[in-house]
């Protein structure tokens, strides 16, 4: 999908629930993708961790590339790695549609976001709950997506940090109107409505989907709560 099409789709879609595949069954990746498609999922969130920027190690381009062959859904790739600028082209070739880098991991956010856009991917900038907002806020004009973390990046299954709510409301007030706000970490049936009221339209969900036997019911409940119904 082109950058423009992917972003426009999300801007006009209303709330979008993006399963984080961190907690899926990697021994049955194709089956997991089909189950998610049947559940009505429209995009996937992929957590790339390097064991250096965060104390956990997941996967890289081969899994992104494998998923690209399995589905046409947009792939939203969350890079939790040092020196992300070294790998932008490779993630593009693997099939990423949106690439998000952490403000804590980059020196020149404006330059990297520009490089991501030049590769025709949506450019996201993420911030951990413990990081001051100043540099993040300065980077927003160069981003398509602001990823407000509601847990410290690194692991699925953590509890939601309330600070994300005021941060999203602040971003909504100060940033350009078409900036997408995504929230990630501890999103479940208890937290998603408040995250939606605070301004998020993209909701990353790991354990609250993969911990359920029926993905369809989990995704429908979460979507309804995010819509306020």
Binding site, by residue number, is 20, 45, 47, 78, 154-157, 184-186, 206-207
Binding characters for Fe ion, 78-117, by CB under 5 A (x = yes): x---------------------------------------
Least distance from ligand 5SP to the Cβ atom of residue 177, Å: 26
Q: Residues 156 to 185: which contact ligand 5SP by CB under 6 A?
A: 156-158, 184-185
Specify the residue, 74 or 185, whose C-beta has the smaller distance to ligand 5SP: 185
Residues in the chain: 229
For residues 32 and 212, the answer to whether their CB atoms sit within 8 Å is no
Least distance from Fe ion to the Cβ atom of residue 229, Å: 26
For residues 77 and 48, the answer to whether their CB atoms sit within 8 Å is yes
Extract the annotated binding site for substrate: 20, 78, 154-157, 184-186, 206-207
Does position 137 bind Fe ion by CB under 5 A? no
175 CB contacts (<8 Å, ≥6 apart)? 140, 141, 146
- Of the ranges 76-84, 131-139, 195-203, 213-221, which one interacts with Fe ion (CB under 5 A)? 76-84
Could you tell me the two tokens for 221?
């409940």
Would you say the C-alpha torsion 142, 144, 148, 151 has a positive or negative sign?
A: negative
If DSSP codes are grouped into helix, strand and coil, which group holds residue 39?
Answer: coil
For residues 170 and 195, the answer to whether their CB atoms sit within 8 Å is no
Applying CB under 5 A, the residues found at the interface with Fe ion are 47, 78, 184
């Amino acid at each position: 999908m082109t950058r423009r099409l992917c972003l426009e789709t999300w801007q006009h879609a209303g709330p979008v629930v993006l399963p984080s595949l961190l907690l899926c069954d990697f021994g049955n990746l194709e089956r997991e993708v089909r189950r998610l498609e049947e559940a009505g999922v429209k995009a996937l969130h992929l957590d790339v961790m390097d064991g250096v920027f965060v104390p956990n190690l997941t996967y890289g381009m081969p899994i992104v590339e494998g998923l690209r062959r399995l589905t046409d859904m947009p792939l939203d790739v969350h890079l939790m790695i040092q020196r992300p600028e070294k790998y932008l082209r490779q993630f593009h070739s693997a099939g990423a549609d949106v690439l998000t880098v952490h403000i804590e991991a980059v020196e020149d956010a404006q330059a990297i976001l520009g490089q991501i856009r030049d590769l025709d991917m949506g450019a996201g900038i993420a911030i951990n709950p413990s990081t001051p907002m100043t540099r993040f806020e300065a980077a927003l004009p160069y981003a398509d997506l602001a990823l407000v973390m509601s847990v410290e990046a690194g692991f699925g299954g953590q509890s939601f940090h309330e600070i994300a709510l005021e941060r999203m409301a602040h971003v909504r007030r100060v940033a350009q109107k078409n900036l997408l706000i995504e929230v990630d970490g501890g999103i479940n049936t208890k937290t998603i409505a408040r995250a939606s009221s605070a301004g998020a339209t993209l909701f990353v969900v790991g354990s609250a989907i993969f911990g359920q036997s029926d993905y369809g019911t989990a995704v429908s409940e979460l979507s309804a709560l995010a819509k306020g119904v």
